[in-house]
Structure 1
Amino acid sequence: MVIATAQLMVVLDATIVNIALPSAQRDLGMSDADRQWVITAYTLAFGGLLLLGGRIADLVGRKRTFMIGLVGFAVASGLGGAATGSALLFGARALQGAFAALLAPSALSLLTTTFPGGKERSKAFGIYGAIAGGGAAIGLIAGGLLTEYLTWRWCLYVNVPVALVALTAAAVFLRDRPERKRVFLDVPGAVLGCGGLVAIVYGCAEAEPRGWGDALVVGLLVAGVALLAVFAWWQTRARHPLLPLHIVRDRNRGGAFLTMALAVIAMFGMFLFLTYYFQTVLGYSPVRAGLAFLPMVAAIVVGSTQISARLLHRVPPRFLMVPGALLAAAGLFTLTFLTARPAYVSHVLPAELLVGLGMGLTFMPVMATATTGVARQDSGVTSATVNTSQQVGGSIGTALLNTIATSASAAYLADRLAEAARTSGGHQLPPAVREALVKDGVVHGFTAAIGTGSVIMLVAALVAGAMVTAPGSASALPEKPAPEPPTRPVRY
């Protein structure tokens, strides 16, 4: 429960401020161009520093890193809630992301080392998988409630008491066996790896307002890929690599990382689009929009804790991942039939239940498979790699699907307005007709993007079926020792 509470804070803070953003913008006088930094500052620091945070957990101890992350996250949240200007809020969100990059991998590695195998591990990962899959929706619900009934500042303040309770419980209940071997920090690897991740996450964030062909976006993405390529080369030469390549070269683990990234790319746009659909098209209040996600959260919890957790130690992981991804793809495809008319019961609710069950079946075995058989001294950086694939997938998914949605909406609206102008003989359209056309165009863009997400989810199912070949009871496999370093390493 301690680890689950901390992980929930990290996951929901990526979305809890989304609904509160308009209120914060008015209160602090932010411009439309700058408001994105409330989201981007967090995702940049979080996604860019995860690998470093995971290795620090291996270096100084998982429990200690976990507790440091909790304290820092609470302090940063308090600063953000008390912000009197946009600059302080942006800085606090970046600080939140930096401490989340310590907290998330240490939490998952503590889970991995505390429950090395058997049914208890399946149960623990069932709870963790439910949080990983449903945390974003829970953030939207909490953001709507806090913004409507208190103030946007409580979307940040709420982390302070939660972190203090988790910190006290961590000091009492968590155990972490110290390693006999010393772990060294790969400074060049940290610079290259973190720099490459920051460039890619930032490039995806800028692709949303600027477009994928913008010079800055292309430059950031090219630079990010180049830095990660050099990072991969350096990891073959470094004596104490930041990310030992045997971790990602393992077929099952690599398949789990890729499945996670693809599933998050496909799913992340759904939260964004449904939030706008509920509030902009259907006119829901923030609270009602948040509560509309509750069935999905319930389905994720059931799929993760009641199905995956009971079956993982009995069947091969891909027997859960593949059906889960197919269910999620079917749910996303259901949303492609949305129109501007209210259709929550007929379309949205079935889609939420299918996607929720699918994510519950997918996320839990993905995380369990990715962290199975890893040497204890590499558990932190392995956990960080799982989180990195999730974070980078979310950044790419948000930017990619939003670009598809806006392009499809613009083309649809242009065609319909031109057709309406011809049929009306050049007369100006009544405001009600124009508003209806705009809503139709927005929904058309959403369905086009979600249809793309459905195809990406099918690819995730193919990847899981082809690459993840671990047998049943994978969660109980023994740890594999880390391979010896090269005989003549380049010393730093």
Structure 2
Amino acid sequence: MTESAADKDDRSRLTKSLTLAGMSLGYAVVQLDVTIVNTALSSIGKALGGGVPELQWVVTVYTIAFAALILTAGALGDRVGAKKTFMAGFAIFTVASLACALAPTPVILIAARALQGIGAAILVPNSLALLNHAYPNEKERGRAVGTWAAGASLALMAGPFVGGGLIAIVGWRSIFFVNLPIGLAGLWLTWRWAKETTPSPYREFDLVGQTIAIGALGCLAATIIEGGTSGWGNSWVVAGFIVSAILIALFLLREQHAEQPMLPLGLFKRRLFSQMSLAGLLVNVPFYGLIFVLSLYFQQVNDLSPFETGLAFLPMMAAVFPANLLAARAAQRFGALPVIAAGALIAAAGCIGLLGIGRGTSYWAMLVQFLAMGSGLGLLVPPLTSTLLGSVEKARSGVAAGVLNSARQTGSVLGVALFGSFVGQINAFVTGAREALVVSTTLLVGAAITTTVRGWSTTE
């Protein structure tokens, strides 16, 4: 008995939907660990020891591995197939989560978090590559990316609330055990429903460039963290910045002359691609940096419990979800670039409204600002991602997704390192938090300006 056209259409829709579900779980578990871990920072510090610098490393080492390896992970998916690579990333992330849950010391926890970052680096670009493959139609792809981002937003939203509750009832180790069932479900969905992409066997790996990239990003983050404790004029801090600059220059030189670079600099000749990559970096510095700072502010300055801290973040994270869903429709009506710029300016307005915070500031005085920050971010991410993917040919979608997410995660590394250095001394925490808000506002306005360069009507 032959399958009817209607049955084929139903099967195609089911395959696409369940592929989207698997990809969304992959992105969601990556985002979940951002808010869940930040909520647990104070509890981790009390249980394992260490001050703000050690807690910065618990967060930062994850994003360093994520940012530095994501380009190679995207290229790996292009070479051997995005499905195989995505499943390997999910397995690594799940095993690393178990190691985090069992970690007896800060050093082992930091090492396991680095392994988690490797898994995250593999998951994100290959999930986008598989979505790009499953949804060839631009409008369908835009809606799928919006759903993919919304799933991550749900994870961001649930992270503080669920994490705070788990910490209060079971303890901080439970926040990593949560990833295990998510990982198993994502692996099954991908294995059963996702279609493999066409491998490019001649795609080589730029191991020299990869090594330099890890060194440059790690050195820069370590230098910024050390600057917050030892002072920006310290000789070791100055030397760290010099070494970081040299490594960045060497990386760009290497990528310019490599036969198959991990970062194809030629992509940046495309104006839309460059705009979206830069905007992604500028937006992530304030968002993830402020999550780190505000988590410590609620617990160490205003004496909130982890569960109360989770509740405090809930409105911000909840605002991201409906904004994600609205973004695709808004982009179709007004154009992607004005929607991205509007989202950045809304988030900047939220940061400005928080400049008056101090010890004992009422949470209700911060609520509207939190809603603005969350909705602004939720509005800009889907059109930014879809626009960047649409600016390159499908054969390079893995690398393009890797560049965008590398830029965004580099922003996360710099945000946590820089803002953490501002608030490194508890007696000057509020002043440092205000400095972080000023920098955040400046960067978000910069992202809006970057997006609008040469007008909104371009189709390049």
TM-score (norm 2): 0.87
Query: Does 2:66 match 1:46?
Result: yes
Q: Secondary structure at the match of 1:271?
A: helix
- From 167, 174, 198, the equivalent of 1:178 is 198
Is the 2:64–2:409 Cα contact (8 Å) retained in structure 1?
Answer: no
- Superposed CA deviations along residues 151-171 of structure 1, whole A, max 9, x for unmatched, are 211111111111011101111
- Structure 1 residue 384: deviation in Å? 1.4
Match of 2:434 in 1: 447
Q: For residues 126-275 of structure 1, what are the structure 2 equivalents within 5 Å? A: 126-130=146-150, 136=156, 138-179=158-199, 182-275=202-295
CA 1:102–1:404 in structure 2 vs 1: closer, same or farther (change >3 Å)?
Answer: same
The 8 Å contact of residues 216 and 248 in structure 2, kept in 1 or not, is answered as yes
Partner of 1:321: 340
Aligned match for 1:368, one of 386, 390, 402: 386
| Separation in structure 1 between the aligned mates of residue 160 and residue 108 of structure 2, nearest angstrom | 23
Moved more, 389-398 or 186-195: 186-195
Q: 1:172: Cα distance to partner?
A: 1.0
**CA distance in structure 2 between the aligned counterparts of 1:185 and 1:448, rounded to whole angstroms:** 40
Aligned residue number for residue 8 of structure 2: none
CA distance in 1 between counterparts of 2:395 and 2:212 reads 21
**Which of 377, 381, 388 lines up with 2:406 in the alignment?**
388
Quote the offset at 1:469 in angstroms.
4.9
Change (3 A) 1:219 1:143: farther
- Which deviates more from structure 2 when the two are superposed, residues 12-21 or residues 131-140? 131-140
3-state SS of the aligned residue for 2:335? coil
The 1:208–1:130 alpha-carbon spacing in structure 2 relative to 1, beyond 3 Å, is farther
Among candidates 348, 372, 395, match of residue 377 of structure 1: 395
Offset at residue 268 of structure 1 (A): 2.6
Cα distance change on mapping 1:292 and 1:52 into 2, 3 Å: same
Structure 1 residues 192 and 446 mapped into 2: Cα distance closer, same or farther (>3 Å)? Answer: closer
Across the aligned residues of Structure 1 and Structure 2, the Cα RMSD in angstroms comes to 2.6
Contact 1:48 1:194 in 2 (8 A): yes
Counterpart code for 1:272:
F
Cα pair distance change 1:373/1:446, threshold 3 Å: closer
Partner of 1:12: 32
Alpha carbons 1:318, 1:464 under 8 Å: kept: yes
**1:333 matches 2:322:** no
Tell me, which stretches of 5 or more residues in structure 1 are unaligned?
411-440, 475-492
The letter for the 2-side match of 1:317 is A
Aligned partners of 2:190, 2:239: CA distance in 1, in Å? 43
How much has 1:65 moved relative to structure 2? Answer: 0.6
Q: Is the 8 A contact 2:59 2:416 kept in 1?
A: no
Q: Structure 1 residues 403 and 459, CA, compared in 2 at 3 Å: closer, same or farther?
A: same
Percent identity between matched residues is 32
Paired residues, what number?
Answer: 440
Matched, 1:84 2:91: no
Q: Deviations over 1:420-440 (max 9, x none)?
A: xxxxxxxxxxxxxxxxxxxxx
SS of 1:14's partner is helix
Distance 2:445 2:55 in 1: 34
Aligned partner of 1:293 in structure 2 is 313
Give 1:63 deviation, angstroms.
0.7
Distance 2:442 2:88 in 1: 41
**What is the one-letter code of the residue matched to 1:455?**
T
Cα 1:31/1:309, change in 2 over 3 Å:
closer
1:458 and 2:445 matched: yes
Correspondence list, 1:342-361, <5 A: 342-345=361-364, 347-361=365-379
- Contact kept, 8 Å, 2:206 with 2:260, in 1: the verdict is yes
Contact 2:225 2:421 in 1 (8 A): no
Worse-matched range after superposition: 60-69 or 389-398:
389-398
Deviations 1:162-206 (A, max 9, x none): 101110111111112313663122232222333323333333343
For the residues of structure 2 that align with 1:12 and 1:158, how far apart are their CA atoms? Answer: 10
TM-score (norm 1): 0.82
Listed as ranges, the gaps of 5+ residues in structure 2 are 1-20
Amino acid in structure 2 at the alignment position of 1:394: S
Distance 1:455 1:22, change over 3 A: closer
- Residues 26-50 of structure 1: CA deviation (Å, up to 9, x unaligned): 4445677645443333233222222
Displacement after TM superposition at 1:89 (Å): 2.3
Q: Which moved more, 1:456-465 or 1:80-89?
A: 80-89
Equivalent-residue separation in structure 2 for 1:445 and 1:31 (angstroms): 16
Offset at residue 68 of structure 1 (A): 0.2
Most deviating of 243-252 and 201-210? 201-210
Q: Give 3-state SS (helix, strand or coil) of 1:292's partner.
A: helix
Rg comparison, structure with higher value:
1
SS in 1 for 2:366: helix
Q: Is the 8 A contact 2:58 2:109 kept in 1?
A: yes
Cα displacement string for residues 233-254 of structure 1 (whole angstroms, at most 9, x for unaligned residues): 2323222222222222211111
